[in-house]
Amino acid sequence: MPEQAVAERVAAVLGERDTIQANLLELDGSYVKQVLEGATLTGQTLDRWTAASAALARLWETFLAYSAVVDRIAALSSGNRRQARKDLPELDALLTKGCVQLPAAKVPLARRDLATAGRPPVTLTAAVGAMRRAFTEVTEVTSAVESVWAAVGAPLEAATADLARCQPLVAGLGAEIEAEFREVSTDLEAVRAASNADPLALWYPLPGGSAARAARDGRTDTSAADRVRERAAALAVRVADVDRVRQQARRRIDDLEAAVAVARAARGDAVAAWQQASARISALPPVPPAPGEPPLASLGALASRGQWSRLAAELDRCEAELAAAHAQTDSLHRSVAAAVDKRDELRGLLRAYKAKAGRLGAAEDANLVARYDQAYGLLWTAPCDLAAAEAAVAAYQRAILATERRR
């Protein structure tokens, strides 16, 4: 080659060697590669990483042989101009002819030929091509594994965080929740162990296209990790709910006992008002039954056994029954007060209508007097029949209005 072409080719070779070296060092120091080297692998990942490891070893052997040639090229091209012209034939040969000895395939001794001298040296370009193929073989595996771990890692870490929050609360929440916590924890570790030992079992390359594209654009099966995440999330919610019941249980039991006492006192007041009103007014609504005695012993037993879900249901039932008793007591109070108010209102109306009859000059009208006496007798008789009294007052009113029209 002309001197200028040789100089350009030398610069290109040196730059290419630096790029290859940087990529190899990055691959060698990558997290995925280091984990795979130290992991106990199984299945597809074991098979492919075994092959990839062998390819990586050949790649480094090839690079060392290739780099030695490049170092010689760099040494020859760094001298003075006269020396460069003298070394030009050797330099040209290193740049264009076979000068890199690729590592020979490992052949068992029994299958070797005694006179076989091994593979002939190849050009720099051929050596770079061989390294590129080996590099692609290795990175296809590491890239696919990295993609799987990234996809599976997110749901597994979320499940781990949920279980970590649950763990301090689980003890004492009951045998069922404790068993479920152990089961989800076991499943989580099983999925993590499987994805660590054979991540490529979860990798589905895209059909068609190049192998590199399939390694880059494949799909990870995260269904097992997603199921564990969903179960851990549901368990975390359940544990939080039951723990809240546990924390509130003693207070709710005490509050229930106090509320029953308040409800009974309120009912006692209502019954006293009813008794007073029943002496004055008939046909009052019946007195509701007294609130039942809260099952404090059984509630305490449920708490002591850690049956928090059942305890919560029992407390809900007791509180609902107590709320219904409160509503019945309030309704009785209102009914009694309304009945007394109605009687007093009718008495006031009757007096007002009698005054109107006097203004009309009909106070002595026999018909009006009879109707007034009937209404008065009903309203001032104990107990008062409100329905009959209301009808009598209405009849007295109609009679007065008829008298008013006639006059």
Domain map of the chain by residue range? 3-109+116-220, 245-336, 339-406
What pLDDT shows up at residue 300? 84
Instruction: Answer for the pair 383, 281: CB distance below 8 angstroms, yes or no.
Output: yes
Beta bridge partners of 100: 122
Instruction: Answer for the pair 17, 70: CB distance below 8 angstroms, yes or no.
Output: yes
Instruction: Answer for the pair 161, 138: CB distance below 8 angstroms, yes or no.
Output: no
Residue 325, number of CB atoms within 10 A of its CB: 21
What pLDDT shows up at residue 341? 92
Q: Residue type for 246, please?
A: R
Q: Which of 133, 196, 134, 143 is nearest to 33 (CA)?
A: 143
Q: What is the pLDDT along the chain (407 residues), one digit of tens a residue?
A: 666 777 788 889 999 999 999 999 999 999 999 999 988 999 999 999 999 999 999 999 999 999 999 988 888 877 555 445 677 788 888 888 888 888 766 655 566 555 555 678 889 899 999 999 999 999 999 999 999 999 999 999 999 999 999 999 888 887 888 899 999 999 999 999 999 999 999 999 877 555 555 555 789 999 999 999 999 999 999 999 888 888 888 888 888 888 888 888 888 888 888 888 888 888 888 888 888 788 888 888 888 777 877 888 888 888 898 888 889 889 888 899 999 999 999 999 999 999 998 888 887 888 999 999 999 999 998 899 999 999 999 999 999 988 888 76
Instruction: Answer for the pair 67, 60: CB distance below 8 angstroms, yes or no.
Output: no
What pLDDT shows up at residue 47? 94
Q: 97-104 — which CB contacts under 8 Å span 24+ positions?
A: 97/123, 98/122, 98/123, 98/126, 99/69, 99/123, 99/124, 100/62, 100/65, 100/66, 100/69, 100/124, 100/126, 100/127, 101/65, 102/58, 102/62, 102/65, 102/127, 102/130, 103/58, 103/61, 103/62, 103/65
Q: What's the CA gap between 145 and 195, in Å, rounded?
A: 9
What pLDDT shows up at residue 15? 92
What pLDDT shows up at residue 83? 47
- Sequence-separated (6 or more) residues with CB below 8 Å from residue 27: 33, 56, 135, 138, 139, 142
Instruction: Answer for the pair 178, 168: CB distance below 8 angstroms, yes or no.
Output: no
